[in-house]
Structure 1
Amino acid sequence: MRDVVGRLRAAYGAPPGHLLRLAGSFALTGWVALRLAGEPAVGRMLLWFVGAAVAHDFVLFPCYGLADRAARRVLGARAAPASGPAPLNHVRVSALASGLLFLVYLPGILRLGRPTYLAASGQDQRPFLARWLLATAALFLASALGYVLRRWWWARHR
Structure 2
Amino acid sequence: MTELAARLRTGYGAGPRHLIVVTAAIVLAGWVALRLAGEATAGRMLLWFLGAVIAHDLVLFPVYATADRMLRAVVRPGTDRRVALLNHVRVPVLASALLFLVFAPGILRLGESTHLAATGQDQRPYLARWLLLSAALFLLSALTYAIRALAGRRQVSPKRSERA
* TM-score, normalising length: structure 1: 0.78
Matching residue's letter, 2:104: L
Instruction: Give the match for residue 46 of structure 2.
Output: 46
After the TM superposition, which residues 1-158 of structure 1 pair with which residues of structure 2 at under 5 Å, given as runs?
13=17, 26-39=27-40, 41-77=41-77, 82-158=80-156
Unaligned runs of 5+ in 2: 1-14, 157-164
- Larger mean CA deviation between 30-39 and 105-114 belongs to 30-39
Distance 1:109 1:67, change over 3 A: same
Matching residue's letter, 1:33: L
- Secondary structure, aligned partner of 1:84: coil
Distance 1:68 1:24, change over 3 A: closer
Matching residue's letter, 2:73: R
Matching residue's letter, 2:52: A
Cα distance in 2, alignment partners of residues 120 and 22 from structure 1: 42
Per-residue Cα deviation, 1:21-78 (whole angstroms, up to 9, x for no partner):
9857643431221332422x43332222111111111111111111111111111046
- Larger mean CA deviation between 43-52 and 87-96 belongs to 43-52
Cα distance in 2, alignment partners of residues 13 and 50 from structure 1: 26
Matching residue's letter, 1:109: I
Aligned residues: 141
Cα distance in 2, alignment partners of residues 61 and 83 from structure 1: 29
> How big is the alpha-carbon RMSD for the aligned residues of Structure 1 and Structure 2?
2.4
Unaligned runs of 5+ in 1: 1-10
Cα distance in 1, alignment partners of residues 58 and 29 from structure 2: 27
Say whether the 8 Å CA contact 2:106–2:126 is kept in structure 1: yes
Cα distance in 1, alignment partners of residues 42 and 25 from structure 2: 23
Cα distance in 2, alignment partners of residues 101 and 66 from structure 1: 20
Cα distance in 2, alignment partners of residues 47 and 22 from structure 1: 20
Q: Percent identity?
A: 51
Matching residue's letter, 2:48: W
Distance 1:156 1:23, change over 3 A: same
The structure with more helix, counted as a fraction of residues: 2
